[in-house]
Every structure is written in C-alpha cells, then in structure tokens.
Structure 1
Amino acid sequence: MDELPIGRRVAYWRNRRKMSQQVFADRLGKSKSWVDKVERGVRRLDKFSVVYEIADVLQLDVQILLGKDPERRPDSVNCVDQVEVEEIRAALERYDQISAFFYAPPEPPPLPEMRKAVTHAWLSYQHAKYGMLARTLPRLLREAQAADTAYADGAQGREAAHLLGQVYQIASSALRKLGEHELAWLAADRSIAVSQRAGDQLLAGTATTRVALALLSLGRSRPALEINVNIANRLAPGTDGNDCAPERLSVYGMLLLQGAMAAARIGDGATVRDLLGGAEEAARGLDGDHNYYWSCFGPTNVQLHRAAAAVELGDGRVAVEVHAGLDLEAFNALLPERRAHHYLDQARAHALIGDIELASEMLLEGDRLAPSEIRCRPLAREVLSDVLRRTRGTPTAPVAELAEHMSVGV
C-alpha cells in the first residue's frame, strides 16, 4: 500500500476503522466535502500538523500515512491496537438478553461450532497468540451471547451459558495481559453471573480466579485474596461431600495459587506459604500437570507460582532457586504462555538480585518461546526498560533488537 497516494491511504484506514466520511470529518473538525477531496487526491495534504491530526483520529502511526512504514519482518509480532480493544469493549457492552424481551433473538450459531470456536480461542490464548485472539474475540463474544440468549432453557441453555462463561474468561485473561484492567474486570464479572446459570461450580471457580486477577491488576489485592480463599474453601475436595476428582483438585488448586499471589502483593508471607502448601497438596492428587478447565494446574505450575510469589515479595534469590530446581521435562511440557510468563518472572527475579545479564537472557528466552507474551505486555516493557537502564555499556545485539521491536529506548 506504500505506493498509494496519501489520500487513498487515508480512505483505506478510515474504512478499516469503520468510519463514514461524515464521522471522520466531524472528528477532524472539517467538512465531509474536505475529506472527500483529500481521499480523491483533489486536495493536497501539505501540512504535517494536519497529517498528524488525521493519524491521531485514525489511531495510527503517522509513518503509515506517509507511506514510510517498513515492511513487516518475518519475526515481528502483531500486537493489539486500541481499535481492536474498542471492538472487544463494544461486544462486552451488548445486552442481548434484555433485547430478547422485545425482539426475536438473532439466529444463533450451532453449539458444536461454538464449542470448536471456544476451544480454538483457549488454545490461542495459551499459546500467547494475543493479536490473533483479539481479532476473533469480538465476533466470538457476539455469537456466544446470541447462543446464550437463544438457547434459554434446558440442557442446551446450560451448555450455551457454559460456553459464554468461558468466552468471558478468555476475554478477561487476554485483556489483563494487554493492560486493559477495567475491561478485564468487566469480562470476569460477567463470567461469574453466567457460570451460575450454567450450573457448574467449577466453572464458577475458574471465573473467580479471573475476577481476582483483574482485581489484583487494579491494585485491589485484599479483595482478590478474600474472594480466592472464600471460594477455595467452598470447593475444597473431600469437604461437605465434595468429590476429589482431578477437575475439582485443579480448580481448587488454582484458587489457592491466585490467593497466594494476592497475599504476596500485600506482603503477607505467612499466608503465601499456607496457600502454596495447600496447592502443593492438591497437586499431589494429580499425576502431573493437566489442563482441566484450562487451568494448566499441577506440581510444576505450583512451583512457577512459588517463584512468582517470591518475586512479588521482593525475594529474587528464592525465585531463582525455585527455577533451578524445576523438573525441566515437566516444565517444557507446559503450554507456551505459562513458560514465557515464568521467564518474565525470572527476568524480574534476576533484576532484583542485580544480575542484569541473566535478566536480559530470561527476557530473550521468553521472547523466543512466545513473542507476544514479551512484546505485547506492558509489564515486559517495564522490565526491559529497567534492564536497559541498568546495563553497563551497550546492550547486546539481541537485547537491542528486542528493544527496537518493543519501541523501548536503548
């Protein structure tokens, strides 16, 4: 598209942003006729200030409008832009259940197709394909909401609610990674309500972890701790007639792990130890790490959270020791998001103890494994900025290249 006149590029991106000429003109403070002439090349854009203003309205890098956007490298990562986030927001703000009281609901997609789409979305998330996931989430949210509205009763209704609850959880998890904490909280809160209609306590338990994670991201550590522990006590295997099935052990264990992370954020080391101990005991009831309810729970994941909690408590040395003691075969069997997230935690741990060289290597290791987990996360940008600030002399070529990809100043 670089060879196109600038007016054609403006038209292309205006259409891609789903703006009419009138809406675009209103946001620029211009007339519709002015926009039309620019797009047809009748009127020249010879003021950089106007070009920058157009780029701002289109939420676009000005270099793209100028035709100077470099060709995408094969190893580059397509993260999520603000327009895609707004499309997810619009999908979350729909209230199809209320509309159904007044109008016939739209034809819902067949539930077997929905199951496949939800599974694909989970795998996209767990493989840290955040850009791909963000582009599919708006439609998936709309379709899951339509299915939940249309299949209101009976077994199909419960399954539709179950699928919608999962989609809300996927959205919450992805949005939190991308730093959209308020939206992550909204999606997680929606998942709680839908899970109750699905009649699945374990789905409600995983929804609780999403709510707690969103609260933690918003700085609400104590409520995050309380909600995790409260629901964990209700789901504890072997109490009040609860079974000890691996699915229940997994959800129960994840609630304890997230509670431990919240306690670590508060600085409550004793509670961290208690909750990690409970999670470790639950993990012993499993034959390794499993992905029941998309939890990735098991002995290895408990150790990853032990390291992460140590980082939150400011004890980088303990976190590094935990990493050194990992079962590498079990660790390498985990999904990419989990492992890359751990490497990010290890980068923070090494930075805490002043080992900037190894902190850099951990970031690079995470980037090699799951680039989006490093390049698309605000937290990773903060860690890389800290590493660059504390690097003596010139950073290595791979670190400088990563910084360039992430637009972090060297």
Structure 2
Amino acid sequence: MDELPIGRRVAYWRGRRKMSQQVFADRLGKSKSWVDKIERGVRRLDKFSVLYEIADILQVDVQLLLGKDPERRTDALNCIDQIEVEEIRAALERYDSISAYFDAAPCPPPLPDMGKAVTHAWLTYQYGRYGMLTRALPKLLRDAQAADAVYGGDQSQRAAHLLGQVYQIASSVLRKLGECELAWLAADRSIAVSQRADDQLLAGVATTRVCNALAAMGRSRPALELNVRIANQLAPGGRNDSRPERLSVYGMLLLQGAMAASRIGDTATVEDLLNGAHEAAGEVGSDLNHYWTSFGPTNVELHRAAAAVELGDGGRAIEVHQNKIQPALFDAMLPERRAHHLLDLARAYTQIGDAANAGEMLLRGDRLAPSEVRCRPIAHEVMSDVLRRTRGAPPSPIAELAEHMGVGV
C-alpha cells in the first residue's frame, strides 16, 4: 500500500467500504467524474481539507491515505484494517520449517501454552470478537509456525495439529471480513499441515475451510465437489467408526456442500446433503463443538435456512426459523452462530420485501455479536437494501447502526 499513488489508496478503501464511485461522490459533494479522475491519478489531491474529509467518509486514518502507518488506537472500529491484513499476510508468508532445515530454529513457546492460546483464539472467533482476534493472529501464527518447525518426536504431531487449527482460525475470520484470497491461502496451508498431524478429522474440517474460501471467490462447483468427496471418505461405517467427533466433521462437510450447492442453484443436491447431515446430527443427539464445528440438529436447521436464502427463497428460510428451530436450543448456540443466522434472516426478509423485520434482525445480531454485523461485507449490502426499502427516514436505531457500519443513510 505504501508504494501506491494516493488516488489508488482512495479507490482501495472506497472498495473496502463497499461504496460505488457515485455514492462516494455524493457523500463528498463532488461529481463521479471528479472521483474517477482522482482515483486514476489524472487529477491531484493536494488539499488537506479535502483529504481529511475523504478519510472521514472512508473511516480511515488520514495517514493511511498518505501511505504512512497511523497511530494504532484501542478504540478503533472492531474490524480488520489494512495494517492488520498486511501483518497477517506477512505471518502467512513465513516458512519457518524450511528455514529451520538450513539454520538455527526459532524459539517457540511450550506446547501447553500454545494449546491454551489456540483454544482462546477459537473461543474469540466463536464469540464474534473479530477485531480482537485479528490483532492477536499475527503473533499466534508466528508462534504456531515456530512450534511446528522446532518440536520433533512425540511432540511433532501435536505441534502440527495446533498449527493446522491456527490456519483454520485465520481462514475463517479472513473470509468473514472479505479477505478471500488470504482465507484460501490459510485454509490450503491447514490441509497440508493436518496431514502431517495424522488426523483425518482435522483434515476434514480444513477441507470445509478451503471450500468456504473457494465459494466466497465464486468457485462454488469445485467447493461442492471437494466437500462431498471428503465427506464420502470420512462417512461412518465400514472401517470408519461412528464417534460423535467423526459424525460432527462428516456432517459439517455435508452442510458446507449444501451451501455450495445452493450458490449454484442445485436444489436437489442441497436437499440431499441437508438430509444426510440431519441423519448424522440425529446420531450425535445434541449440538456439540467437536473440532470447533458446533455441529448438531440446531446447526443443521440454521444451514437449512441459510441455503434457502442462497436459493433466493426468503419465505422458506423464515418458515424454517419459525417452525424448525427451538428457541431454547438456538439461545444455547455460541454468539457467532446465532448472529450469523440473524444476518441470514435479515437477508431473507429483504427477499420478501420486509425491510422492518430485516432491520430488526440486524439490530438483534448487532446486540449479540457486533463484529458479525458491522464488519462483514454481506451485512453492509443488507443494510443498504434495508435503507433503500425504508420509506422516509429510517428508525433511529437503524440509522445509528448504519452510521456505525459506514453505510450511507
């Protein structure tokens, strides 16, 4: 970013905030042509008053637009920023294991301490605290990579297992925040490391992370095929046991396959995979968190509703929520799962033209896990849709949330 012309930086951050040139120009009080010339470098941006106004609209430190590192603020919006993206990228670009082959190995923390840090990171993710997690990820990645490079013997598989989990955590949060290519890289690394950890179930969960990243990049067909192929390998029966851990990973592969199928409009495959996951969840019995999957009967229904939204059937998604999901069991789910579902419901309500209920779902999700609503690009799209469909001025809670999200009212 430092080497980019200032106009390119403006264009980058406008894109991150999901603003069109026209919307950005309107908020700035300029023409679309003026914005286009600034971003292409045809026109100079040399007035500091305008620069500060642009920074305010884009919700970034003006130093970022000037190609400098801003002062880090503890009260910053609880989302990822470009500095954190670059720090995570730098951590993912490390190759400690090959470096240790040629030179002195790095000094990692003890494995028990690493295990506690990884557990804390998973819980931070599942409670929807993405800003806190992205700030911690670079060090966690470096520590886990160092541990994988150094520990040998009986400890090598444990170190690889922990690194595989850290890559999965990184992939999951990066995908949520719209950094899909980095999410794919982290997930791909997780698959390779999981094989060295000699844990088929860890590799199965890593597969779902790869497929989620592929789907987010518009590669839903390969995502569907890979999820189903690995699910078939891990299916209980024959030489495979029927432990809840295996059923959970198998079920999640089917659920993510259903989501990929829904994105390409394959209704029959969606139904088939959801039914398979429902059977697996019935054998598990309740919603558990083996391998951090939160898999069980309630999570299957959350995915059934999400798949209906992807298929454009908002009415069906709302029906599933009202008739298939028990409130007490839903309330027992972790915050990220619940807020994610509320965001899906908001999308469902916009599909049937009910802006009021869509807005209410966003507000409920924001109260539960603010980062899930304020930081995800898809949530910004939903809020924009709610504002467009609202007649007159939006209710003050919606207007306030839209302002926090940086979505123009």
Could you say whether these structures have the same fold, taking a TM-score greater than 0.5 normalized by the shorter chain as the test?
A: yes
- Counting only pairs closer than 5 Å after superposition, residues 233-272 of structure 1 correspond to structure 2 as 233-239=232-238, 241-272=239-270
Give the match for residue 62 of structure 1: 62
CA RMSD of aligned residues (A): 2.6
Query: 2: CA distance between counterparts of 1:280 and 1:132?
Result: 34
Q: Return closer, same or farther for 1:321/1:94 CA change in 2, 3 Å cut-off.
A: same
2:317 counterpart letter in structure 1: A
For residues 184 and 278 of structure 2, the distance between their equivalents in structure 1, rounded to whole angstroms, comes to: 28
The Cα shift of 1:63 comes to 9.5
Are the aligned partners of 1:124 and 1:132 in contact in 2 as well (CA < 8 Å)? yes
> Which of 295, 303, 306 is 1:305 aligned to?
303
Residue equivalent to 1:149: 149
Q: Is the 8 A contact 1:251 1:295 kept in 2?
A: yes
Is 1:318 the equivalent of 2:329?
A: no
Work out the CA distance in 1 between the residues paired with 2:116 and 2:74.
Answer: 31
**Conservation of the 8 A alpha-carbon contact between 1:77 and 1:371:** no
- Judge conservation of contact 1:344–1:366 (CA < 8 Å) in 2: yes
**1:107 Cα offset (Å):** 1.3
Of the two, which has the highest radius of gyration? Answer: 1
Asked if the contact 1:77/1:372 (under 8 Å) is kept, the reply is no
Residue 62 of structure 1: how far off its partner (Å): 2.8
The 3 A distance-change label for structure 1 pair 372 and 54 is closer
Match of 2:388, SS state, is helix
- Cα distance, 1:277–1:51 mapped onto 2, change above 3 Å: closer
Instruction: Please give the per-residue CA displacement for 1:375-405, whole angstroms capped at 9, x wherever unaligned.
Output: 0111100110011011111100100000010
Q: Could you tell me which residue of structure 2 aligns to residue 130 of structure 1?
A: 130
Quote the offset at 1:47 in angstroms: 5.3
Matched, 1:160 2:159: yes
The residue aligned with 2:401 is: 402
Q: Is the 8 A contact 1:195 1:203 kept in 2?
A: yes
**What's the CA shift for 1:200?**
0.1
Looking at structure 2, the residues matched to 258 and 356 of structure 1 have their Cα atoms a distance apart, in angstroms, of: 28
8 Å contact from structure 2 (residues 207, 227) kept in 1? yes
Aligned residue number for residue 284 of structure 2: 286
Any idea what the Cα deviations from partners look like across 1:104-142, whole Å, max 9, x if unmatched? 111111000000000000000000100000010000000
Tell me which residue corresponds to 2:223.
224
Q: Distance in 1 between matches of 2:114 and 2:395?
A: 46
Deviation at 1:100, TM superposition (A): 1.2
Instruction: Supply the AA of the counterpart residue of 2:382.
Output: V
Q: Per-residue CA shift, 1:136-166, capped at 9, x if unaligned?
A: 0000000000000001x33200000000000
- Structure 2-normalised TM-score? 0.84
TM-fit CA distance, 1:79: 1.3
Change (3 A) 1:63 1:185: closer
Contact 2:262 2:310 survives alignment (8 Å)? yes
Q: Give the distance between the partners of 2:140 and 2:114, measured in 1 at CA.
A: 8
Q: Find runs of 4+ consecutive structure 1 residues off by over 6 angstroms.
A: 53-56
Tell me, yes or no, if the aligned pair for 2:168 and 2:187 is still in contact at 8 Å: yes
The change in CA–CA distance for 1:51 and 1:313 in structure 2 (over 3 A counts) is closer
Measure how far apart 1:54 and its partner are: 12
Q: Which residue of 1 aligns with 2:42?
A: none
**Structure 1 contact 319–349 (Cα < 8 Å) conserved:** yes
Determine the C-alpha separation between the residues in 2 that align with 1:395 and 1:343: 20
- In structure 2, distance between residues paired with 1:184 and 1:356: 32
Letter in 1 for 2:94: R
Q: How many residues align?
A: 361
User: Deviation digits for residues 350-390 of structure 1, max 9, x if unmatched?
Assistant: 11011111011011110011000000111100110011011
Are 1:169 and 1:210, in contact at CA under 8 Å, matched by a contact in 2?
yes
Q: Quick one: which amino acid aligns to residue 200 of structure 1?
A: D
CA distance in structure 2 between the partners assigned to 1:249 and 1:349 by the alignment: 29
* Contact 2:96 2:106 survives alignment (8 Å): no
1:311-350 to structure 2, matched below 5 A, reads 311-325=309-323, 326-350=325-349
Secondary structure of the 2:102 match is: coil
The alignment's TM-score, normalised by the length of structure 1, stands at 0.84
Equivalent residue for 2:293, pick from 295, 301, 309: 295
Q: 5+ unaligned residues in a row in structure 2: which ranges?
A: 7-45, 66-72
Q: In the alignment, is the contact (CA less than 8 A) between 1:188 and 1:207 conserved in 2?
A: yes
Structure 1 Cα separation of the partners of residues 190 and 87 of structure 2: 19
Q: What does 1:357-368 align with in structure 2 at a 5 Å threshold?
A: 357-368=356-367
- Over the matched positions of the two proteins, sequence identity in percent amounts to 73
**2:127/2:336 contact within 8 Å kept:** yes
Deviations 1:152-209 (A, max 9, x none): x332000000000000000000000000000000000000000000000000000000
